[in-house]
Amino acid sequence: MLYGGITWTATGYEICVIDGDTGEKVDRERFQAADILRMFDYVSGLREVHRRPVSMIIDSSNGMVDGTMTAAGLDVYRADPWLLPAASALGSADAPALAQSARRDLPKLARLDSRHGTLTGRLDELDAGIEEARRAETELTAAGHCVSHGGRDRRQIALTFDDGPHPLFTGRVLEILRHYDVPATFFCVGLHASGHPELIARMSDAGHLLGNHTWSHPFLPDLTKDQIAGQIAHTARHLPSGREGAPALFRPPYGSRTSAILSWLVDLETTTVLWDVEPFDWAMPGTDVIVGRVLAEARAGSIVLLHDGGGDRSQTVAALPRIIEGLLDQDYRLVTIDALTRP
């Protein structure tokens, strides 16, 4: 058995593959942020090159790559912070440490699947944090620091897309939006934004609104306030500035939050944007299911959560024209988050 650790950095990714028996390194490669498709080709070819099964290891600060790998049938595991050495200020645990964590005790790692995603085995923890934050969320919503929907008195709906930009799917989403002449809000992952500035420019030039979705899509409860601040600040450097004087729009990965995290986000001068319609398109339930869930659940003021990155988004792309047509047929106007929440 071979174990491959995948780490992220301020510029891209690094993969270290070790022999499960000896612990020796058998392969090591670095990829720039723009080379994510080439990285997935490399990972998919490891088994054939080395003629042995390969398991890939990520940590909870990296929610950007497992979706593509699990969809391709690869074995992917997550090593959690208590199993790893401390990470750098802007980076995950290093690739050899991730690989060695699997060699030391693979049963302690969570094996990921496409139905539960990066947080397989920690979804109860996610839900507990959201429940604990409910009172703080209500108070911050009343104060204008948090939003999960717009006013229910106007037939407006905001389509939002997370985890991009992606070199295959974001352009297709932009073409569909252009065809129907509707705007959307994109919550971008900083590492991928840094690798695809041309897609960021296309979004901005087309009149779409861009928000911050962290640098590496981490599970926020595993990070300190300073680490969250670093993720947000580094991502902001690769996104166009919003309205002068307006707080930056921020969406927490997975919607992960606690009352403390929501308070930190206020201190960081962001508006936390959640949602009230989620078709779980990231789990690839089927195009018809994605369309049906959105059209059944959306109502005046809704914020719809979709994805243009983070995995195979072909079903989302196929569903999008039907979603747009269905909402327009119901006399909804599709707007950006700032328009939806404007008094």
Residues annotated as catalytic are 162, 307
Q: How many CB atoms lie within 10 A of CB 252?
A: 25
Nearest to 34 by CA among 11, 56, 10, 18: 11
User: Is the peptide bond prior to 165 cis by the omega test (within 30 degrees of 0)?
Assistant: yes
For residue 76, the cross-strand partners are 56
Q: How many CB atoms lie within 10 A of CB 224?
A: 9
Residue 177: partners with Cβ closer than 8 Å, 6 or more residues away? 183, 184, 206, 208, 320
The rounded distance, in Å, linking the Cα atoms of 34 and 12 is 8
Amino acid at 66: D
Bridge-based pairing of strands 209-212 and 185-188 is parallel
| Cα Rg, the chain, nearest whole Å | 20
250 near 271, Cβ under 8 Å? yes
- Angle, vertex CA 315, rays to CA 314 and CA 321, nearest 5: 100
